Amino acid sequence: MPNPTAAILIIGDEILTGRTREGNAYFLAGELAKAGIDLKQIRVIGDDHATIVAAVRELSAAHDQLFTSGGIGPTHDDITADAVADAFGRMIDVREDAREILARHYAARGVEFTESRLRMARIPEGARLIDNPVSGAPGFSVENCHVMAGVPNIFQAMVAGLLPHLAGGAPLQSRNWQLMVAEAAIAEELRALAVAHPGVSLGSYPFVTDGQYGTNLVARSTDPVALEAAFAALKTHFPEGQ
Amino acid sequence: MPNPTAAILIIGDEILTGRTREGNAYFLAGELAKAGIDLKQIRVIGDDHATIVAAVRELSAAHDQLFTSGGIGPTHDDITADAVADAFGRMIDVREDAREILARHYAARGVEFTESRLRMARIPEGARLIDNPVSGAPGFSVENCHVMAGVPNIFQAMVAGLLPHLAGGAPLQSRNWQLMVAEAAIAEELRALAVAHPGVSLGSYPFVTDGQYGTNLVARSTDPVALEAAFAALKTHFPEGQ
């Protein structure tokens, strides 16, 4: 059975203007590979209601899971929750269980529970909450769409709570073989190896270090036996690697 | 007149599997903001012909400019040039001017011009070449789609050669105001300021440092006068910032 598929949707003008270097997709990509969920697309869009609604509809329909990051805070530019509700045709309002979580969190810390903070208890109807052990305000899942915070440590904590509940597949494993030769010098042999090992993806990634050309060869597969066979062939064909 | 729009398409399994942290989109996002080109979407997809063709068609039709990164090297997993040719219905073959550039580059360095390296002279018909001062092999532009390498220093050199030839608009400028208060504590005031300054985008970005909550407020606009007025209002309303 093929592994389940996924997409990641990053929401935030600060990425598109070059102010912030995105890191949540990089983190989640690694976690999904370990969980055996095939990431097919990462998309970054701005804080625009219609754009978010359209992207959520398209990506959730085309993949088994959709993960979003960003736009669920207390300020006027946090519009993700309302857009996701719209995308799935659900009502959205302050929900009592989310309000209680926030009330407890703020009471324990002597922080005032303001009108702005109450905004973070707005949850689409029928959604399941995602625990936020860092700052209280929960994420949520609507159907196959998992809505999480953009702040990296909160995002990572939410992923840790969410992923074990999702159906995974065979983890993608990889083996790395580094050669200090230019990519083009081994392209023909590598192509032949790729043909001979159809169950394994063979990627080649050139680099330059101290003016020397090198190539990282990466074999990837969800089938450990096929992976080791391909890796053994790599080592045999390119014994100068490491 | 509104600024021209753009999308970035990053092509490579190594991003989706979490092996590599993408950085080219981050670099180009900053350059586009300075050039007055509005970046509307970043998309990352894998090394799959049909997926690349569909994404190039969709994103080039929906934006004034499309920039791609990755998949134009000499190995079997470098399939971007053929996919872009397909997306625009063009033939692709080794082109004499590209072949000459590579021949000169390798001759000057005493490097053998192999069959694999010749693959990098495959250029869709009618394309304009993009100079590669680092490793010779050119990028190319087909209509509004600019195809560049994935290796970061080559990508950056190609962008530097390409961008001055594209029509830009008013550069996006930004001013930053940092407060050591939680985002929620200022959300209402910020919302009012956003309403009062419609030509300026006011973003708020929470952070935690040494256990202290803080918020970066970022005012962005292509109109310098409106930007300074909004920034002055930020400073007046939140005099404790810096």
Chain A residue numbers touching B205 (CB-CB < 8 A):
14, 20
- Judged by a CB distance cut-off of 8 A, whether residue B142 touches chain A is no
* Candidate from A147-151, A223-227, B63-67, B132-136 with smallest mean pLDDT: B132-136
- Judged by a CB distance cut-off of 8 A, whether residue B172 touches chain A is yes
Q: How far is A40 from chain B (nearest CA, A)?
A: 6
Q: How far is B184 from chain A (nearest CA, A)?
A: 5
The pTM of this model reads 0.91
Q: Can you give the length of chain A in residues?
A: 242
Q: How far apart are CA A25 and CA A44, in angstroms?
A: 10
The CATH code belonging to domain A5-165 is: 3.40.980.10
Q: What does residue B212 show for φ and ψ, rounded to 5 degrees?
A: -100, 135
> How sure is the predictor about A68, in pLDDT bands with cuts at 50, 70 and 90?
very high
Q: How far apart are CA B217 and CA B210, in angstroms?
A: 19
Nearest CA in chain A to B14: A203
Comparing CB atoms, the residue among A14, A120, A151 nearest residue B203 is A14
Within 13 Å of residue A104, how many CA atoms lie on the same side as its CB? 11
Who contacts A66 (Cβ-Cβ below 8 Å, separation ≥6)? A6, A7, A8, A9, A56, A59, A60, A144, A145, A146
Q: How far is B90 from chain A (nearest CA, A)?
A: 25
- CA torsion angle A157 A162 A164 A169 (round to 10): -120
A71 pLDDT above the threshold of 90: yes
Using one digit for the tens of pLDDT, what is the confidence trace for A20-66?
999 999 999 999 999 999 999 999 999 999 999 999 999 999 999 99
Chain A residue numbers touching B19 (CB-CB < 8 A):
174, 218
Residue A59 confidence (pLDDT): 98
Compute the average pLDDT of residues A75-84. 94
Comparing CB atoms, the residue among B14, B117, B205 nearest residue A218 is B14
Mean pLDDT across chain A: 94
Q: How far is B59 from chain A (nearest CA, A)?
A: 12
Q: What percent of chain B stands above pLDDT 70?
A: 100
Residue A82 confidence (pLDDT): 97
Comparing CB atoms, the residue among B14, B116, B187 nearest residue A205 is B14
The CATH code belonging to domain A173-237 is: 3.30.70
Residue B206 confidence (pLDDT): 85
CB contact under 8 A, B202 and A77: yes
Using one digit for the tens of pLDDT, what is the confidence trace for A100-115?
999 999 999 898 899 8
**What are the sequence ranges of the domains in chain B?**
5-165, 173-237
Q: How far is B127 from chain A (nearest CA, A)?
A: 23
Comparing CB atoms, the residue among B21, B185, B203 nearest residue A26 is B21
A149 pLDDT above the threshold of 90: yes
Comparing CB atoms, the residue among B23, B42, B151 nearest residue A44 is B42
Q: How far apart are CA A83 and CA A86, in angstroms?
A: 5
DSSP state of A110: T
Using one digit for the tens of pLDDT, what is the confidence trace for B92-120?
999 999 999 999 999 998 988 998 899 99
B202: closest CA among B171, B241, B165, B229? Answer: B229
CB contact under 8 A, A206 and B151: yes
- Judged by a CB distance cut-off of 8 A, whether residue A212 touches chain B is no
- Judged by a CB distance cut-off of 8 A, whether residue B9 touches chain A is no
Residue B8 confidence (pLDDT): 98
A186 pLDDT above the threshold of 80: yes
CB contact under 8 A, B187 and A75: yes
In this prediction, the answer to ipTM > 0.95 reads: no
- Judged by a CB distance cut-off of 8 A, whether residue B42 touches chain A is yes
> How sure is the predictor about A185, in pLDDT bands with cuts at 50, 70 and 90?
confident
User: Do B5-165 and B173-237 show the same overall fold?
Assistant: no
| Whether B72 contacts B147, CB under 8 Å | yes
Chain B residue numbers touching A153 (CB-CB < 8 A):
208
Number of CB pairs < 8 Å for A and B?
178
Instruction: Show the beta-strand stretches assigned E in A46-150.
Output: 65-69, 92-94, 122-124, 128-130, 139-142, 145-148
CB contact under 8 A, A77 and B29: no
Q: What is the pLDDT along chain B (242 residues), one digit of tens a residue?
A: 789 999 999 999 999 999 999 999 999 999 999 999 999 999 999 999 999 999 999 999 999 999 999 999 998 889 999 999 999 999 999 999 999 999 999 999 898 899 889 999 999 999 999 999 888 999 999 999 999 999 999 999 999 999 989 988 889 899 999 999 988 889 999 999 999 999 899 998 888 887 788 899 999 999 999 999 999 999 999 999 98
Instruction: Show the beta-strand stretches assigned E in B12-138.
Output: 38-45, 65-69, 92-94, 122-124, 128-130
